[in-house]
Structure 1
Amino acid sequence: MSEWVPFAVLILSVVFFVGSFLISRRRVMSMKTWQAYLANLHSPKAMVSEKDGSILYANRSFVRLFNIEQENNAYRIQGERERQSIEALLANRCWPHPFIEVTPDFRSSSDTRVRRYARFSALPVWCNGQRTWIVSLEPESDSIYSEPFVENDNQIFRSVINSLAELVCFQDRDGKVVGSNLAFDRFWEGREKEGVLLHSHREIEGRRTQQSWTTNPNGDSCLLETSQTVLRDDHNRIYGTLSISHDVTNWHMMRQVMEQEIEARQEVEQQLKKHSNVLASIFKASVDPIGIYNKDYEFLGGNAAFAEAMGATHDNLEGEHAVDVMDPEILTQHQRIDVPVIEQGNTVKYEDLVMKRDGSQVWYELTKTQFCDPTDDTIGVLVIARDVTERKATQQELADAIMELEELSFMDGLTKVANRRSFDEQLVKMWHSHIREQEPLSLILCDIDYFKPFNDNYGHQQGDTALRRVAEVFQHVIRRPLDAVARYGGEEFAILLPNTSEEGARVVAENIAYELSLANIPHEFSKVSERLTLSQGVATLYPKAGQDYGDVVSMADRALYQAKNAGRDRIASTTEAKVETS
């Protein structure tokens, strides 16, 4: 019997080692399998080498959160702050011991103002023969990684929100600010806590509106009206709040003025009821329309100006019915407006254009108030009107002037294309959008060849005409909605081409040269042609974070200089490394 013991021990050892090997094989997954698994997860996940802390793989959420650049299956953290965060979290961690830790101050790369908290965890695994951490960030609030200003897929929504004049603020379920628009940031800069209406969603249910006095960035007092709405998901669970604030100072002041006017007129109404002779005297003395009629539209009193404003053919309306003296369309308009006055006792104030008997038109500001005769409880309407024709004319002139100033501030008065100020603003906006999208941005700088001799010999009036015709050529060629043509200065123009490669920009430049040749603008004093020509410099860049947008202007300027130096009437292009002449 003892002779079988060695064989039994041998068999058991073989089974043990084979089983351990098979179990270990099940625990070791390939890099491809891990990538397929982590790519389908919504929360940020990454594979980090235990040896040197390098990132072997990161899913989309992790890439977006930590501003990671991917190239040829290699991952690199671009931001110094994000890199330090990862290194600090993995420091002094002993592989293969998993851990979970709540850590603060994890922010998206586009918003460093809001302090957030997340559960950081790491799982030790073998992958492709090396020790690896599976790093995971689980937010305490779902809103941390669903904020509307971070997702690349929500750029249109972000632009719309940022274009609003209202102050927009998103808070998560714990009351922390997770997103705001530009108007909110500018208004509450340095005092963000004042802009938060509520500190927790538990304080409200549904919708709440609040008015509060504060100071604007200029130091002036203003009244803000803030509406806060609880946001719920498809399962009716609260995940945050949306607050929208707007300045109602002017409305508040106007309301106070209106209330004062109504109170004053109510006092006058009471006096009129008590003293009918005083009422008659006021009617006759006032040059503004004043009148009273009951709910059946029988006129109880009024002056001549009131009769004319009502469209009657004579001045004394007392005792007559409106249907007998007024145009049916005018009467129908008054009846429609008077409904809230008669039925709810509201005061209605509006403006109306009235045709007078002599054919002239007058703008009246009418205030209609309900009155009740205490003697017989008669319900009716008291009308007090004021001639605001001059004010309306002034308002129209002011509006026209404002529109003209706005147009002039962004448009070159001579050529009717964008001016230098507008060009600079467009360049800044496109620069930042192309950093996010990683698309090429092209710029063409154009200079009219030998324009000074043109002006000196043909005269400045002909020079202005030539500039306008050149601008028309640009506008004829440049047709995409986001392309921008601007007068850069003197006889120099700039053409901004978003999402356009250098080859595409050269095609545009060639089309401009061709269309200008068809315009056939004579220039006998040019040294390169008998007609007006252009020298064009083309530059293309893929904007990067931290790079100055003036680089593309400098490159285009160098290319333009190259075109001029090579004989003019030609196109030159340049990249960051070399200048190429065509």
Structure 2
Amino acid sequence: MIDWPIGIVLILVGFLIGALWASRKRVVSLKNWQSYLSNLHSPKAIVSHTDGRIFYANRSFIRLYDIDTEHGDFRMRSEQERNAIAHMLRHRRWPTPFIDVTADIRTSFSHKVPRYARFSGLPIWCKGKHAWIVSLEPESESVYSEPFVNDDNQIFRTVINSLAELVCFQDREGKVVGTNQAFDRFWKGREEEGLFFNTSEDIAGRRTQQSWTTNPNGDSCLLETSQTVLRDTDNHIYGTLSISHDVTNWHMMRQVMEQEIQARHEVEQQLKKHSNLLTSIFQASVDPIGIYTKHYEFLGGNPAFAEAMGSPHDDLEGELAEEIVEPEILAQHQKMDKPVIESGQTVKYEDLVMKRDGSMVWYELTKTQFVDPTDETSGVLVIARDVTERKATQQQLADAIMELEELSFVDGLTKVANRRSFDEQLVKMWHSHIREGEPLSLILCDIDFFKPYNDNYGHQRGDSALRKVADVFQHVIRRPLDAVARYGGEEFAILLPNTTESGAIHVAENIATELAAANITHEFSGISERLTLSQGIATVLPRAGQDYGELVSLADKALYRAKNAGRNQIAINNKELADAS
């Protein structure tokens, strides 16, 4: 199915091509008329029907009216003559020819003396406008300058014979009293066919008719014939003038245009039908769909989109985003829209939106650039999809993964051993040290003021801090049997086999030094501007029959003393298990 904007563009392109073709045809027609009129001795001009502007005038007409022809334009210098022509044509009905119209003209040779001439006009198309070919017939010999003062009948005959139209004069009884050469050539041997009106009809008015016939070549053609009543000086009818011209091309063009108009009408109806269907789907969609300019003026959107944007009403057209959307939310949209507007990229991201009823919905947004071909307006088209259920499923899956990680031996966040792994290693080391009689040390570490860190910097930075602390531990603890484990939350445990108390203190001091060098900012700590640790150390010589949990308890009490003493320090508990029991 063709998208409706593309259909409209195709229609406009077709219309423009047709208009250019028609304009070209009319320009060629004007050139032919110029070539034809320039060879005539009688005054002739092509004049606009609407405003009397002269499109072309031959030499006799230019001389008679003192016309300025600079830059290829024809303009009468006398305003009175321009008004006379305009007044004469104002009451003419195009395309009905006229003859025997008397007008006052004043030639370039005698502007002060009134001169009168009878005008006749033939309708034509010129430059895509209605126009007339205006001819002059003098009322007296004083109207024209040389060479038109002599032999008026011969001049008139020359003019009539020079016309391509079929001209026929009939007297009151309908008898043909004169024709031009074009009429004789066209109707040779069938002159009666060229008489479209008869004496039985009322000839008091002016009339026009069209009829199909054949030209001398045997081709069908459509003739349009206009008959005008001729009157003498006493206003008595003494005959008629019939002028016929071939309008076949015009008729065929009109038919083509009517077919094109009908086809366009049908296309418009289909587009309207499709548009209504798309509008119904658009409005009924539960997924937000909207469009706005690069200046964040809404061009449209369905109710779901209006609700997602936080609008109190569903109609967003013409609204400005800054008047509806919260500033921080609008700033986020503008940041995400920048590559769409500037480089035409398509972006996808997820966003959490609060609906009007207070419920929270996750949307997956797809944003693409649009450009209006009519005015090149650019903006963003947004299509959103409700992925709340998918996000819930993802969260459930993440929870399940976390549970699996807790059951495994590696902490998913810090990549060190987890609590389960620590417990197993402690049991193994405890029994091996009973056999070997070697000291076993444990360091319990707690990040100082970690809750304010999370609350103020966010959990993402909190997780990053935990990973950095774990990296410090792994950088300091290098022996193969040493074990670093995330004991819980922000607490870590370090098992140091075959390590004395002094060795454990040395390791704890190295950890504090390396953590300071990591320079992890903590503006919300109560003791430092950087992240710090409180460390509790316990060292024992394990003996058979004693519980390894006592080692953890001793280290925990040492950690408690370090925290109570002000944090960011190391506390020692060297009480042996035998005494502790």
TM-score (norm 1): 0.30
TM-score (norm 2): 0.30
